[in-house]
Structure 1
């Protein structure tokens, strides 16, 4: 038992030693080792102990100088508080903690700095293109200044840089500056001027910068004055002067006028100076000055205002064309004279026939009814303050009251000459008259009546021509165009015209007949015969049929003749006749009505079964009346062989075994076709060369006479019943 207790006590002793070791007395300080603070800022240093319930603390500098701070202890923690950091706080501080007989000490280095403001950029003056300027960059209240670097940029270009490495005699806030001189150009406008300052400390680099936008100025230049309408003016005129000047900033414009005493009279601060109702005393030198922050530039313009002479204007103009019987008013207006006097007369120095009315600066000559006697050159004399001006105006009278009259010698007929007369009545002066006669766009005749007039009177003039009308003239306009040229100063002659549309009569011609569906049709089909004819007036249509005796059978007066169901007997010649009072025109067409082939017969004579060496006639007949094409063929595996037949008959002399086979007959017309076939059998003879029968000889002789006779009978029979034809369009064909 005692031994066991000893073991337990030993274990407890070891645990106590370990616990005591874990709770040993320790001291920590924060921030650790080193810190930096801005002059004027708040700073606190903290000491913490562990392993002691009631430690005691003391603070001191390494050189035993005043703390310049307030220590505050609470339990196991002590804080040294510096409310406003100053140069006096730049020390190594030591914190000492005592716990019983044990003492612990920790130190911390406190550095101070000052970098309170952004740099200041200063210019020696306005930036003017081409003039050097000094730029200064100031960094105020900096400490420690021996660790300061300053850079000066213009845009991306480094102008200068400096590292202030000189030793400080004492601790103090200093202002450092960097200067550089450069010459601005227009390319510098809008660029940034950057002053960048860096303060290097042991723990970090502090940086501040200031950016200033460059405003480059140019002195006013190229100052120009423009004057409208002119620098030489007359009294009462208005003048507008515009001044422009280049520069940065844009120059302000100031107008003034030089006075006789050498001073200048200010006028306006606008770019445009407008002077109205100019007087002679407004003559002089006008000055435009462009002004901005950098400088000023002047430009001058001299205006000369002259006395305005009075002017005389006569209307309607120097030349007047008046219609006989119309009212004519001649007006004279004076400008530049308040009380002029007027005198009217003719060029022959006679008094005018009209009434003169003068009032103020105008005078009017009124002619109530213009006549031949009023055709003169009139002069008006104007007197103003001893000065005299004279104006003239020529008055011509004319008569051109009606449009031309067109007359023709008779109706227009295709190919028949006709005379056209164009008359212009009551014209004056007729020697200025021109008449032109046009058909469509073609001039038929043109005449200008230039003969001298024996006396002033109204005359009637005419133009006559003959032409041959054609149907192509129908719808064209016949135009009589009259022009009265009234004087040398007239831009356009007076014109009148009459128009008559031409309608040319023509006998029926160019008859056209169309048959639908065709001139050859199958019996029972409908047929339309259409007739048209050119002519003016439109011809009347008459359809007739030509009978066998040559007489004409009237059928219809419509343009279309319709057979609803054509029959064989409708075949024949049909005549279309176009008729008018100017003549008649005819055209005919033949209509053929056909039926499909029928009653076709295909026979072999003497039989469809013969012996080798016999003569065989294969005959094809058709009972139709219309033209029929007969085609005989022998069928074969390699292709059908067309046989050369005569009137539908094919003769095989001395039939051979290879002549046996199927024979086919095709009967065709334009409206249809029909087929028939037969099989010919050729048998071989017994092989006996010496055999000769008198009966066979007699039969052979008789056959040689009978067969041609039968062929002739068949031929004439066919001729009596039908008409046949033979075509080689596709192959050899027999015509029956």
Structure 2
């Protein structure tokens, strides 16, 4: 559908006449748009002359571009002008030719409006929230009407206002753009040059984004991005929340990149954007770095000497995210160990000497497992009842030697002292006591005392020396 519209029509002696205002034609065909125009003679003695004739469309917005110079119509338009005839011929019609077509002519006696001038107040920087006044002026006779427009990508848009001096009470960032005014009277229309309104404003923040957005695993690459709408453009600084108020920025720029993030990088981060009009701080974004257990450490309580019968608590700890599960083992000669206990603690309510040995724990989460170093548990205990042996053990001929040997299980190791009953002074010290050249007066009870810092135990053996033989009798004290 082709539509035609009169450009200048006012008094009876000025005008453009179209024989039809809507024309339907087929794609690829040729169409003629008949048109005539009239104008009055000059009242002086000079001849009236037509200085310019052209056809244009609304597809070019407010610019009256001659179709003959429009590349979309190149070689396809003819002006069939003769005297006051202004017929337009379009060949090889395209779908894109559907438009509103207009004819314009000027003479040497018309007073089309003069090119309008535009101005803006204030003339200095325009900041969001300020008031702004646009002014359009043009010399025309008769007086022109004014319409203000804002350039955008949509053709045929409606004017913003018909007020000569549009007033923005509290200008917004979205009001930035190119503005122009159109002035028109019955003799013609002119467009001003565009004036660019650049509204300055403080940063407006968007939420910080984290990439990847899912689980963050130690040693992976992580990027934090901060975006801010600002005019002039904002600068960015990155910070990590700490207990110290005087923070130094981690990075300058819109991104904070961890090429190989570590567990120590976990924490709360934020970005700060700033331009000359203000500063904004983002909300905190939490970075939670997951990692396998660090080498576990094992401690015991109480930390001093471990005495048989006392309580003992072994604790395993490991830094891990997610938190580790713990398993306890005791080293044995068998390779296929069974766990002693699950959990971070291994408790002995009354530890026994048999429970001395090397212990270790295993820490595990979904990302891996680690084993602690061995912890030796050394249970101290007083001597067990000693055992005493005599050699030789058979019949002893008077005058021969007799060896008494004493042993006792103890931790720390026991010291041994030999006494003869009813005598105050010890006979000997050490595990072995030897009687050389036995005589009858050597007969009697011999006592072995086993002693360490935790206690003592004793055992007695009766020795009888008779002429010709040596008898022994054992009993515990």
Q: TM-score range by the shorter chain?
A: 0.3 to 0.5
Higher helix share: 1
TM score, norm. by length of structure 1: 0.32
TM score, norm. by length of structure 2: 0.47
Higher strand share: 1
